[in-house]
């Protein structure tokens, strides 16, 4: 029987969280005979791959495990190339799905045949330390938009917690294998939207432990790399963002807006610190973006 859904997990160095992620997939209330699991390991240096193989022993879900060392765009495309499901649900190695996550995502796609990509909702729950909670809440707030509107054209759903219609992703040629870090999801979403598919969000929930125990140093490194990779991406996709919105002062205003929205939902006073966290993140992002620009100019001069 052909599986209706492929669960794709692209993972690297996630030994602390990968077991919980896989167990949440195996615990889904969707029929296991209609699920296949494809895991692509990015040459982890810890025990991630060992834990993966041990977790997949004697399970009722067909599974495949691959390795790659070419970057995230390549890893995502390996899942697409080997997927047999009508849909692909993307799960990161540090996510935990609600038990009804896959079922809700597929039911949504069946009810909305015009949708090519649909993103689940990150649960608004405390995530370890204060910084981790703020980052989780800020990323959830960033997805609280109507992705059908023109204003959301430059907004990125992201792969984690998203379901892709396999026909849609194959129609647009899949992921760009040259994108080794961030923005591989952004490129696909642009092409899927251009091909006439809608992008929406659903109420299927998941927890994301990527930011569990987050430090200021890690946060800086992550957004510096995001800015660096974004410059590379925008050289081939010009006009997607307005740079003044990425300036730290603009980030402060965005943080105020999100803090107000989140406070009404959560009643947590901690969200009032978001404007300052946003300034910190976007400073790192902009420095990474500028460094990428300077590196590109240097290569051209050579």
Question: What is the distance in angstroms between the CA of the first residue and the CA of the last residue of the chain?
Answer: 56
- pLDDT 10s digits, 224-274: 999 999 888 888 777 777 766 678 788 899 889 888 888 888 888 888 999
Q: Are 274 and 137 in contact (CB under 8 A)?
A: yes
Model-level pTM? 0.88
Q: What is the CA radius of gyration of the chain?
A: 19
pLDDT value of residue 126: 65
Given 3.30.300.30, 3.90.550.10, 3.40.50.720, 3.90.180.10, which CATH number is that of 5-208?
3.90.550.10
Task: Check if the beta carbon of residue 243 is closer than 8 Å to that of residue 154.
Answer: no
Which DSSP string do the residues of the chain spell out, in sequence order?
A: ---SEEEEEEESS-TTTHHHHHHHHHT-SS-GGGEEEEEEE---SSSHHHHHHHHTTT-SSEEEEEE--S-HHHHHHHHHHH--SSEEEE--TTEEE-TTHHHHHHHHHHH-TTEEEEEEEE-----SSHHHHHHHHHHHHHT-S-TTSGGGTT----STTEEEEHHHHHHTT---TT--STTHHHHHHHHHHHTT-EEEEEEEEEEE-TTTT--HHHHHHHHHHHHHHHHHHHTTSTTSS-GGGGSHHHHHHHHHHHHHHHHHHH--GGGGGHHHHHHHHHHHHHHHHHHHHHHHHHHHH-
pLDDT score at 275: 92
pLDDT of residue 64: 92
Pair 55, 39: CB distance under 8 Å: no
d(CA 63, CA 35): 9
- 134-170: pLDDT as tens digits: 888 887 777 777 777 666 666 788 899 999 999 999 9
Residue 178 has φ and ψ, to the nearest 5°, of -80, -15
What residues does each domain of the chain span? 5-208, 216-296
The stretches in the chain having pLDDT less than 50 are none
């Amino acid at each position: 029987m052909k599986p209706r859904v492929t669960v794709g997990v692209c993972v690297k160095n996630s030994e602390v969280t990968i077991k919980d992620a896989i167990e949440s997939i195996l615990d889904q209330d969707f029929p296991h005979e209609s699920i296949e699991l494809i895991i692509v390991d990015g040459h982890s240096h810890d025990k991630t791959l060992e834990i993966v193989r041990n977790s997949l022993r004697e399970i009722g879900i067909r599974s495949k495990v691959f390795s790659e060392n070419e970057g995230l765009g390549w890893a995502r495309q390996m899942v697409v190339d080997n997927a047999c499901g009508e849909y692909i649900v993307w799960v990161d190695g540090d996510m935990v799905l609600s038990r009804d996550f896959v079922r809700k995502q597929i039911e949504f796609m069946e009810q909305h045949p015009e949708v090519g990509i649909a993103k689940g909702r990150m649960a608004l729950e405390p995530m370890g330390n204060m910084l981790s909670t703020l980052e989780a809440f800020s990323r959830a707030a960033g997805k609280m938009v109507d992705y059908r509107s023109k204003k959301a054209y430059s907004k990125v759903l992201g792969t984690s917690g998203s379901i892709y219609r396999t026909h849609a992703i194959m129609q647009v040629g899949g992921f760009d294998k040259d994108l080794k870090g961030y923005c591989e999801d952004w490129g696909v979403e642009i092409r899927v939207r251009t091909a006439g598919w809608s992008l929406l969000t659903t109420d299927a929930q998941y927890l994301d432990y990527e930011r569990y125990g987050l430090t200021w140093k890690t946060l800086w490194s992550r957004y510096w790399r995001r800015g660096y990779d974004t410059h590379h991406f925008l050289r081939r996709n010009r006009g997607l963002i307005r740079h003044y919105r990425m300036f730290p002062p603009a980030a402060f205003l965005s943080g105020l807006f999100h803090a107000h929205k989140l406070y009404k939902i959560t009643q947590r006073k901690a969200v009032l610190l978001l404007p300052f966290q946003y300034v910190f993140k976007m400073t790192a992002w902009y420095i990474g973006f500028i460094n990428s620009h300077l590196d590109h100019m240097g290569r051209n001069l050579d």
